[in-house]
Structure 1
Amino acid sequence: MVIYVVDTSVVIERVVSKLVEKKEIEGRILIPRAVVSELENQANKGLEIGMMGLEELQNLQNLKKDGKIEIEFVGERPTSYQMKYAKPGGEIDALIRELAYNEDAVLITADRVQAESAKAFGMKVKFFEFKKPIKKLEIEKLFDDKTMSVHLKGDCIVVMKKGLPGNWKLVKGKEKYDNEKIKEMAKDIVEKTNMDKDSFVEISRRGSTIVQYKNYRIVITKPPVSDGWEITAVKPLKKLNLDEYKLPEAISERVKTKARGIIIAGETGSGKSTFAMAIAEDYLKQGRIVKTVESPRDLDLPDDITQYSKNFTSSEELHDILFLTRPDNLIFDEIRDTPDFKLYIDLRLAGSDCVGVMHSASPIDAIQRFIGRLDSGMIPSVLDTILFVEKGNVEKVYSLSIMVKVPSGMTESDLARPVVEVKNFEDGKLEYEIYSFGDSTVVIPVSKEKKATNKLAEKEIEREFSKYVDRINVEIVDSNRVKVFVPSGSVSRIIGKQGKNIEKIEKKLGVRIDVNELEGKEKIDYEVYEKGKYIIFNVNSEGNVDFYVDGEFLFSGIVSKKGEVKVSKKSDLGKNVLKALDKKKNVEVFSG
């Protein structure tokens, strides 16, 4: 009787039961306990392959009951050390080979390294090489030439997005699948992915699996990550070349030859990745070495472009690979977390030409995501072009540069500082400025610089002076000068000896500051109530009164002839007053 020993690879792929049913193997099958331990370990981590392997063992038990095969579990359970180094050290494979060698058995494996190692020991090996699956995935049947994505969830109607990026509609199908059916489809997807040499499992976690099956990106989620089994499959409908986007000549020329640090920004489904593919292929046609960093690898690109996955290596290893292989252009799809930003920044500062893909609601948001991750003065060295994609088209292009100047809205020359200018590339109009203001890096829209700067100045000044006093009133005189009112006993302490302290504050904040006493400001008793659309403060005073919340200035009001100050509930001020009253904060009123 022929004796066979199976390893984990053929059990996971359900090869053994198929061979028995086809009568390609007969006799006695030995199943190492090391295989069972490895499958249990994978299943406990929530990996699909673990459950698939355990189900295959159950299939073999049923074949044994039918008298088609003899099976026996043999060997010892592996130690924790052997389990830990099952993959990197080949410890489990070594246990299985040793068992097959001692039993003079035929080793059945789908692992080429295992097969070659066994042959080196002179063992009999039956190597099973996967054939490309002939049958389509069931989920493929739900796609037509207008379907962008298919969304399945247990006990819910199938829904599909039909159309093009930025111009699609949600269409409900007729089918409804229960959780068991979706679970079965998920297993079929993983199994066929492992059999197809052009497909791969990108990520396999306890509650989710992401695969790239041919040109389908498929995301599988299950409890506890999701509240039921769910499959989402996405397929690119149309590939465009760069010329088909009909970009203005100046923008096209900048993208093709001049820009070195590009960010393609846009919302989900706007067509960012499709545009990135067009740029990558254009670089390739220009005779450049192009590589990509992706997670997952789902860009549909020619074989001449090497696609690296972040999921199978570390940022440090990718860093080394990219610096040593020296691509002319790198496509980074997409930049999500801090390690991604760090890698992109390092590559740019080292002189690599990079195109990054990033989710953002507006083009300026994409720039703001870099603030805090590098000095503001270095931003133009990393980013020189922002391409904002919406509904499949490039809707806006920003260029970035830096110069030393007085920020817009300020006039005095000694307030000059390094300012990053963000301009609309098409008309050259300055739209935003980025610069340091106090301890913060700020992004100011130039068209609204006066209002934005005043608001920012008040906030920064109040925060700075709160180190010295509990109550402060800030009055913006113009873009370069403010008046600060503080309790009389604090004026000399704030100004400091020979004015050194106030000079230090002025230099830090970048504005001239006149320090004044809160003269004649006496605390006033009041009653407050709501009437119709207003909050009414009944005060025993005349003229102007100042309102403070927990020691911070809120607003000044004019007392009516009836001794009242009215605040509209619907205004922002009214909402702040109501919030303060509801939370029982200390609201104080002082004479003006």
Structure 2
Amino acid sequence: MQHDKTTRVVPDLSAIVNQKVLEYITTLANPGQVTILLDGAVIRHVEQAAGKQDPSGILALQHVAALTEHAGKGDVNLQVVEIDTRGKDISLDESCRAIAKEQDATILTCDPIQETLCKVEGIHVHKVDVHLEAPVDAVFGKLFDDKTMSVHLVEGIVPRAKKGRPGAWQLVEVSDRPSTKEELAILTNQILNLTTIKGIAKGFLEIDYEGAKVVQYGKYRIAIAHPPVSKHHEITVTRPLVKKDITEYKLPKGLVDRFLSEADGILVAGPPGAGKSTFASALANFYAGHNKIVKTLESVRDLQVNPEVTQYGAIEGEMEKNADLLLLVRPDYSIFDEVRRNRDFEIFTDLRQAGVGMVGVVHASSPIDAIQRFIARVDLGMLPQIIDTIVFINDGEVKDILGVRMVVKIPKGFRDEGLARPVVDVFSLFEQHRPLYEIYTFGENVVVVPVDRAAEKRYKREQRSYVRAPADDDADATVPGDDDLDGDDGERSGSTWRAEIEPVERINFMGPLVEFMLGPSAAGRPVMICTSRGEPLVYGTASTSGAVHIKRKSKKGKKIDMILSRTKDLYFRVV
């Protein structure tokens, strides 16, 4: 488009962020006669974004500075224009269109929706194309090869990549010079363009926080962080190395058949990076291949599933709204990746009780850990109806598959038949249904007791070798020792506590037991009883009335008796 007279141009935010204004001016016959009208509202937005170190704000500010420099040389005329928006709530795009109407100017944009609205409103418009995939693919093509699991770009640091496979990888440098803030800002803007250029988006903006964003682009999951969330600008790109079929795990036919005929509440557990999502994807495709309707619930939609499987992200950022939708859609199975927060466990439980087959992906350092994460959150009698199978993954392989069932029996170690009670049996499906753990109520507490010494030693050894899952906003139940009461698990140094200590409300001596009344805030939750200085004494799960009982003759009980002889001031934390 060429003009013989002075040209008035109003660039919107998309044109400024993508640094297209100067590029456009050079295509005109008389660039010196061009007047650039900058919307004051856009300039304020750029200032605010740049002040927060937002990459788009940094790029936009650089371009405005370049325009100012050209104006100082007389190459272009530059004006900042304001419109009266008092009493109006209008967007930046609307503000630019209002200025263009008032000044009889041309809108310069990269946004196809802005272009369409300008034509509808009779406003002159020129759209500058933005190449979406090519710039990002060019960068990723240089950084990724067939052995690359993830790439880590950090301001001031040489780009590095994890190469190998889960459980056997190396961190190697993939460039000979550090990444700069400007390079990362440009790449960030190119990545965000994949999701935010309206009408032609090629990816999904899964998470959008101030200072942090997550984009799903094809097989790539891209996490972006910058101040104030992180100290420096950084981009982390991960991708799955393989897409597996369920047959590649070489499971016995009986176990594969169990997924179709018996297993309706499945947990896929393992440490971070162990291959849980790869197995969950294989299981989703397995169900879809057997004519089942399968949906996924993912905060970031990165499961590698076939087209028959519909992937759902959080509706308006809330997974509970997805649960309402799923009950109307009526899938046979739903894959929940991943179950982490309290509300996630509630959604998993609600859908399972509604009759939906559920597969939940959870972080856990051993199979029993995955079950323990539900113990403090659901009634024990409901546990086998919610969870019936646990698949434990590590190093990309299925290490064990556990089953869960409810029976009425005398717990191991008890002799009196009058002590028979409902017991949740946890058994290994890899080893002829050999019992591994018993879960039952003891007094007002729920305890998890190993019943197979070989298995107990093996799991303790595995727990030492596995990478612990990162702490989330909820703590897990504990495995009690044989000599202590309900929930005493010895000292756990290095744990991260999530609350300040509170005083124990009341201490009652009840024959062989001492009762600690902690109050409603501890009801049904894992707790640590400690001294006034925070020194741990006992770990356990409080009853629904907020009580914890300790055997006075146990090692911990004797220690507490000694402390109580000096002071009655004990405290607790919810852990």
Distance 1:153 1:404 in 2: 57
Asked if 1:168 corresponds to 2:169, the answer is: yes
**Cα 1:100–1:173 shift into 2, 3 Å:** closer
User: Which residue does 2:160 correspond to in 1?
Assistant: 159
Partners of 1:305 and 1:75 lie apart in 2 by 50
Q: Give the alignment partner of residue 447 of structure 2, picking from 442, 456, 464.
A: 442
Residue 568 (structure 1) aligns with: none
Matched, 1:95 2:109: no
Matches within 5 A, 1:354-503: 354-426=358-430, 427-447=432-452, 452-456=481-485, 467-469=507-509
Superposition deviation, residue 395 in structure 1: 0.8
Map residues 504-519 of structure 1 onto 2, 5 A cutoff: none
Structure 2 CA distance for aligned equivalents of residues 117 and 158 of structure 1: 42
Could you tell me whether the CA contact under 8 Å between 1:186 and 1:220 is conserved in 2? Answer: no
Q: Does the CA contact (< 8 Å) of 1:209 and 1:221 recur in 2?
A: yes
Which structure has the larger Rg over C-alpha atoms?
Answer: 1
Q: Return the offset for 1:272.
A: 0.9
- How is 1:513-528 mapped onto 2 (pairs within 5 angstroms)? none
Q: Indicate how the Cα distance of structure 1 residues 408 and 121 shifts in structure 2: closer, same or farther if over 3 A, else same.
A: same
Q: Which secondary structure does the structure 2 equivalent of 1:198 belong to? A: coil
Q: 1:459 to 1:155 in 2, by over 3 A?
A: closer
1:309 to 289, 308, 313: 313
Aligned-pair identity in percent equals 35
Judged with a 3 Å threshold, the aligned counterparts in structure 2 of structure 1 residues 304 and 22 are, in CA distance, closer, same or farther, namely farther
- Quote the offset at 1:24 in angstroms: 9.0
After TM superposition, the structure 1 stretch with the greater mean CA deviation from structure 2, 198-207 or 370-379, is 198-207
* Higher alpha-carbon deviation: 190-199 or 420-429: 190-199
Report 1:172-211 matches (<5 A): 172-173=173-174, 175-180=176-181, 183-184=184-185, 186-187=187-188, 189-190=190-191, 193-194=194-195, 197-211=201-215
Q: What is the rounded CA distance, in whole Å, between the counterparts of 2:480 and 2:347 in structure 1? A: 37
Bigger CA drift: 378-387 or 203-212? 203-212
Deviation at 1:150, TM superposition (A): 2.0
Alpha-carbon RMSD across the aligned residues, in angstroms, is: 3.8
- Whether the 8 Å contact between 1:160 and 1:173 is mirrored in structure 2 is yes
* Structure 1 residue corresponding to 2:76, chosen from 52, 69, 72: 69
Equivalent residue, structure 2, for 1:573: none
Q: Within 2, Cα distance between the matches of 1:284 and 1:24?
A: 60
Alpha-carbon separation, structure 2, partners of 1:509 and 1:6: 67
Judge conservation of contact 1:13–1:191 (CA < 8 Å) in 2: no
Task: Identify which of 351, 358, 363 aligns with 1:347.
Answer: 351
Distance in 2 (CA, whole Å) between partners of 1:473 and 1:347 is 43
Question: In the TM superposition, what whole-angstrom CA distance separates every residue of 1:269-328 from its partner, at most 9, and x where no partner exists?
Answer: 111111111122222222333222222222233444332223853234322322222333
Q: Aligned AA for 2:148?
A: T
Summarize the alignment of residues 562-581 of structure 1 with structure 2, pairs less than 5 Å apart: none
Q: Is the 8 A contact 1:153 1:230 kept in 2?
A: yes
Q: What residue is the counterpart of 1:30 in the other structure?
A: 37
Are the equivalent residues in 1 in contact too, given 2:268–2:361 (CA < 8 A)?
yes
**Residue 19 (str. 1) matches residue 24 (str. 2):** yes
Q: Mark the CA change 1:148 to 1:412 in structure 2 (over 3 Å): closer, same or farther.
A: same
Contact 2:295/2:310, CA 8 A, preserved across alignment:
yes
TM-score, with length taken from structure 2:
0.74
Distance in 2 of aligned mates of 1:363 and 1:35: 54
How far is the alpha carbon of 1:257 from its aligned partner?
A: 4.6
Quote the residue 1:132 is aligned against. 132
Partner-residue secondary structure (3-state), 1:455? coil
Q: 2:242 aligned with 1:241, yes or no?
A: no
> Offset at 1:345?
1.7
TM-score by length of 1: 0.72
Whole-Å Cα distance in 1 between the matches of residues 290 and 27 of structure 2? 53
Secondary structure, aligned partner of 1:282: helix
Q: CA deviation at 1:394?
A: 0.7
Aligned length: 483
Q: Which letter does structure 2 place at the counterpart of 1:73?
A: V
Distance 2:145 2:372 in 1: 39
- Shift in CA distance, 474/314, structure 1 to aligned 2, threshold 3 Å: closer
**Higher deviation after alignment, 18-27 or 255-264:** 18-27
Deviation sequence 1:501-528 (CA, Å, 0-9, x none) = xxxxxxx9999x9x99xxxxxxxxxxxx
Partner of 2:144: 143
| CA distance in structure 2 between the aligned counterparts of 1:216 and 1:167, rounded to whole angstroms | 21
The answer on whether the counterparts of 2:161 and 2:171 sit within 8 Å (CA) in structure 1 is yes
Secondary structure (helix, strand or coil) at the match of 2:411 reads coil
CA displacement, residues 393-418 of structure 1 (integer Å, 9 cap, x when unaligned)? 11100111223333222232332332
Question: How far apart are residue 112 of structure 1 and its match?
Answer: 4.3
Distance between the aligned counterparts of 1:189 and 1:111, measured in 2? 14
Asked whether the 8 Å contact 1:211–1:218 carries over to 2, the reply is yes
Give the partner amino acid of 1:101.
K
Q: Separation in 2 of the partners of 1:53 and 1:64?
A: 17
- Tell me the alpha carbon deviations over residues 208-257 of structure 1, each in whole angstroms, 9 at most, x when there is no partner: 33222332222233344334333322122221111111111111112245
**Structure 2 CA distance for aligned equivalents of residues 46 and 322 of structure 1:** 39
More RCO (CA 8 Å, sep 6+) = 2
Judged with a 3 Å threshold, the aligned counterparts in structure 2 of structure 1 residues 248 and 458 are, in CA distance, closer, same or farther, namely closer
5+ residue gaps, structure 1, are 476-507, 517-546, 555-579, 587-592
Instruction: Report if aligned partners of 2:481, 2:487 keep a CA contact under 8 Å in 1.
Output: no
User: Over residues 430-488 of structure 1, what are the superposed CA-to-partner deviations in whole Å (9 max), with x where a residue is unaligned?
Assistant: 1112222223222111125999444226969xxx9x83449x8779xxxxxxxxxxxxx
1-structure distance, mates of 2:249, 2:85: 58
1:213 aligns with 2:217: yes
Q: Which moved more, 1:67-76 or 1:112-121?
A: 112-121
Match in the other structure for 2:268: 264
Is 1:5 the counterpart of 2:10? The answer is yes
Cα distance, 1:205 vs structure 2: 3.0
User: Could you tell me how far 1:362 is from its partner in structure 2?
Assistant: 0.6
**1:178-202 Cα deviation digits (max 9, x unpaired):** 5436534643553553467322333
Q: Give the Cα separation in 2 of the matches to 1:343 and 1:192.
A: 33
Give the Cα–Cα distance (whole angstroms) in 2 for the partners of residues 246 and 387 of structure 1: 14
Moved more, 54-63 or 29-38: 54-63
Mean CA deviation greater in 447-456 or 196-205: 447-456
Task: State the AA in 2 paired with 1:18.
Answer: E
